[in-house]
Structure 1
Amino acid sequence: MALKEKVVQGALCLCKYGTTPDKLKVLTHTKYYLNDHEGTKKLAATHKDIGATTFEKNTFGPCKMQPTPGGFKPCQIVLTAWTGFYEKEKYSPPDGYILLEDSKATCPIGGPDCISILKSGQMGEPTKKNLQNADEELQSHVNPLVDMANIDKKDPYSHLNIN
């Protein structure tokens, strides 16, 4: 699984025949959370997240596979299967394998692997452990306003002797 992100609720997906991304909804369980220290928002997405209500707006805009005299019919997302999921990590229920950032979905109109994941839905949340493991030299260049040597102190600016 070489450094691939796991997919969570809110992942941004797009069909190659649509024009507008939509956000993935996880409806198969309410138990497994990733990248969410409060365990309230980022449900883990699995290959069992299929059907007609798997997305917030349930459309990718006009569907290029359904032409009409005035343009294209609106897309109505129906996922029938996922491919490229991680078969070494399974959540029960729903007995689903975790989706990865390069997983693809099938729609009966667009065909196999027509839906891609643009963003996994995961977001970095800095923790105290991240700060402890941060490279002081690098951080001084990236964020010169933070003194990494004194970050654990109650008043990280006490060394400046400002009165």
Structure 2
Amino acid sequence: MSEKHLVCQGAICQCKFGNTPDKLKVKTQKKTFINDPEGSEKLMATNKDIGQTFEKNTFGPCKQQPIPGGYKTCQAQVTQWTGFYEKITLDENGGKALMESSKATCPIGGPDCITITDHGQKAKPSQQQARKADPVATNQLNPAVDTEQYQTEQEQEQTNHAE
């Protein structure tokens, strides 16, 4: 993986001893959002997001807890994160930003047993990207949109605002 993404609320996590993913829930801060222009959904996750910090707080049956006829249900509990980004510290909670390569420790599964399989950010094309898009490629992907006409309209609108 060439790029490393910051992790936000809604990131998909998986324990190597469970069989069901769960979504990360940021509970330690309420101010710093990433990839979320409205600032309503994508709180940035930090190494301070410990404890029961998942939506369902389970990864399904825990292979580290066998019982007759199967396994106990996981009760996800993060005690620490590793592999976080040292260069970003949030004022609100003093936490360091989690990266998609960060891993969590659970007291049952042990160090780094929980991984992040999807960082939670979603790409949202901007008007600037649409203006710079290759019309031939865009029309092949979406023939219902006349990209050249859209780009011309955007340029005219930008010129009108500049005057």
TM-score w.r.t. the length of structure 2 is 0.88
Q: Deviations over 1:80-127 (max 9, x none)?
A: 111111111111121111111111111011011100111111111122
- Does structure 1 residue 77 correspond to structure 2 residue 76? yes
- Does structure 1 residue 38 correspond to structure 2 residue 38? yes
- Give distance in 2, aligned partners of 1:140 and 1:91: 42
- Cα deviation for residue 147 of structure 1 reads 1.6
Q: State the secondary structure of the residue aligned to 2:40.
A: coil
Structure (1/2) with the larger helix percentage: 2
- Give distance in 2, aligned partners of 1:85 and 1:59: 23
- Cα deviation for residue 135 of structure 1 reads 2.3
Q: State the secondary structure of the residue aligned to 2:129.
A: helix
Q: State the secondary structure of the residue aligned to 1:13.
A: strand
Calculate percent identity across the aligned residue pairs: 55
Alignment: residue pair count: 153
Q: 1:27 matched to which residue of 2?
A: 27
- Give distance in 2, aligned partners of 1:80 and 1:106: 6
Which one-letter code corresponds to 2:24 in the other structure? L
What are the within-5 Å matches in structure 2 for residues 45-64 of structure 1?
A: 45-51=45-51, 53-64=52-63
- Give distance in 2, aligned partners of 1:78 and 1:49: 10
Q: State the secondary structure of the residue aligned to 1:151.
A: helix
Q: 1:160 matched to which residue of 2?
A: none
Q: State the secondary structure of the residue aligned to 2:112.
A: strand
- Give distance in 2, aligned partners of 1:29 and 1:95: 10
Q: 2:18 matched to which residue of 1?
A: 18
Q: Deviations over 1:125-160 (max 9, x none)?
A: 122122123222321222222221111438xxxxxx
- Give distance in 2, aligned partners of 1:131 and 1:54: 37
- Give distance in 2, aligned partners of 1:46 and 1:134: 34
- Give distance in 2, aligned partners of 1:84 and 1:107: 15
Q: 2:115 matched to which residue of 1?
A: 116
Q: 1:87 matched to which residue of 2?
A: 86
Root-mean-square deviation (Å) = 1.6
- Give distance in 2, aligned partners of 1:101 and 1:120: 5
Which one-letter code corresponds to 2:32 in the other structure? Y
Q: 1:145 matched to which residue of 2?
A: 144
Q: 2:95 matched to which residue of 1?
A: 96
- Tell which deviates more after alignment, 72-81 or 126-135: 126-135
